[in-house]
Chains A and B, each alone.
Chain A
């Protein structure tokens, strides 16, 4: 056993002075294994979500609290949860799952404003943030804050109301949890909150006459939405509650094994293992003055370290 491990991990005569795991044949086997696991694990997850799934704990209550916390920290007034915006967010989330798209506009060109208008919210300003694949409410809000355009939406003084929908389902082949955040303002007043959290007198502002469109912010001019032809959003009476504020309050799932954590742990172990093997391979060969025609281990260590660091810093979900 010891001999086998030595053969796999350290350079010696039996492996031609190169750790066996660093041989092209071994690397190829590991690459094929990773590819196979990339295809097999999602399929297994699909059929046995109670065993291997995505552990999620996202609630609208927490999302509202965290959003308002960020706004207060930025000296802005907190947003009020609005039933119509919540309903609009829910309709948007259901529409995305039903039609299988991940975008602000539907495949038929339906904009978020159609959902807001259909919900009966007469807006002057409106905006939308989307998120999917996150496991906690704080991870969602942190991701929005980390993105400049989403942050601008979240911390915009133009909004007074907010509505959230959290919905789980299959989107573009993946089991996921969708979060739709819709902002709105029925007046053209921008309430500001001073650092000491006291409301300042409303600042009147001239209505914007040109629609401003950006990645995730679309501000439509006052006062109504004459250019939008409301498209009836697909509605399922059993899915459409009377009190939307509480309808999709939270998505909580606790599978036996959390798939993203499992994948991350496997990836970290694999990369760490290779970095350590390369390091010892380099050290032993240098110490024994062994000559061989192979690539520079230091290059490989640097490259795999960058991949390891990327893996540790990248977020688990996606925002739009």
Chain B
């Protein structure tokens, strides 16, 4: 139990660090649309892979969970694409 909690803390801390790094990248390219979009895509891919990997290590990975992470990641990318396109 203790071991699982510790693993959760490591996992969530690493997600926060990765997402903050992504936010830094996105703001760094705030006036370059292409680089901005690439950075958002990168953050979405990392987030989805990290989430899937975590569920895999927890032995809770199912096809539905993979789809959920892919869809939430895609939603973030598509919303940014919408903002850039309009």
Q: Given known contacts A147-B31, A263-B82, A263-B85, what 4 new A-B pairs fall within 8 Å (CB)?
A: A24-B71, A294-B65, A303-B72, A306-B22
Among candidates A42, A274, A294, A313, residue contacting B64 with C-beta atoms closer than 8 Å: A294
- Report B11-33 CB contacts with A as 1/0, cut-off 8 Å: 01001100110110011001111
Say yes or no: B65 contacts A34, CB within 8 Å. Answer: no
Which residue of the partner chain A has the closest CB to B20? A306
CA distance A267 to B40 in the complex (A): 15
What 1/0 mask marks residues of chain A from 5 to 44 whose CB sits below 8 Å from any chain B CB?
0000000000000000000100110110011011101100
Q: Answer whether A317 and B31 are a contact pair too, CB < 8 Å, given A27-B71, A299-B15, A303-B47.
A: yes
Q: How many of chain A's residues have a CB under 8 angstroms from any CB in B?
A: 47
Are B86's CB and A146's CB within 8 A? no
Q: How far is the CA of A289 from the CA of B51 in the complex (A)?
A: 22
Closest Cβ–Cβ distance, residue B51 to chain A (whole Å): 5
CB pair B30–A314 under 8 Å, yes or no, is: yes
CA–CA, A274 and B78, complex, Å? 14
Given contacts A313-B30, A314-B27, A317-B31, contact A45 B67 (CB under 8 A): no
Contact partner, A299, options B26, B31, B43, B51, Cβ 8 Å: B51
Q: Among the listed B15, B67, B76, which residue makes an inter-chain contact with A24, where contact means beta carbons less than 8 Å apart?
A: B67
Q: Name the distance in Å between A175's Cβ and chain B's nearest Cβ.
A: 11
Number of A-B pairs, beta carbon distance below 8 Å:
129
Contact of B79 among A28, A260, A270, A302 (CB under 8 A): A270
Q: Which residues of B contact A304 (CB under 8 A)?
A: 72, 75-76
Decide if B7 is an interface residue (CB 8 Å cutoff): no
**Known contacts being A294-B65, A306-B22, is A274 close to B82, with CB within 8 Å?**
no
**B82 close to A24 (CB less than 8 A):** no
- CB within 8 Å of A: which B33-86 residues: 33, 36, 40, 43-44, 47, 50-51, 54-55, 60, 62, 64-65, 67-69, 71-76, 78-83, 85-86
**B31 and A319 contact, CB distance less than 8 A:** yes
Q: Which residues of chain A come closer than 8 Å to B86, judged between CB atoms?
A: 37-38, 41-42, 45, 259-260, 262-263
Interface centre among B47, B51, B62, B76 (most CB of A within 10 A): B76
Shortest Cβ distance from B85 into A: residue: A38
Residues of A close to B20: CB separation below 8 A = 306
Q: A146-B30, A296-B51, A318-B32 are in contact. Are A38 and B81 (CB under 8 A)?
A: yes
Q: Which of A30, A306, A315 contacts B30 (CB 8 A)?
A: A315
A126 to B33, CA, bound (A): 27
Q: Which residue of A lies closest to B27 (CB)?
A: A313
Closest chain A residue, CB of each to CB of B25: A310
Q: Are A307 and B40 in contact (CB under 8 A)?
A: yes
A284 interfacial by beta-carbon distance below 8 Å: no
Q: Please, how many angstroms separate the alpha-carbon atoms of A319 and B20 in the complex? A: 25
Whether A38 touches B82, Cβ cut-off 8 Å, given contacts A295-B65, A302-B19, A306-B19, is yes
Give the distance to chain A from B66, nearest Cβ to Cβ, in Å. 9
Q: Is there an interface contact between A295 and B31, defined as CB atoms closer than 8 Å?
A: no
> In this complex, what residue of B is CB-closest to A27?
B71
Assembled-state Cα–Cα distance A42/B23 (Å): 27
Q: Does A266 contact B (CB under 8 A)?
A: yes
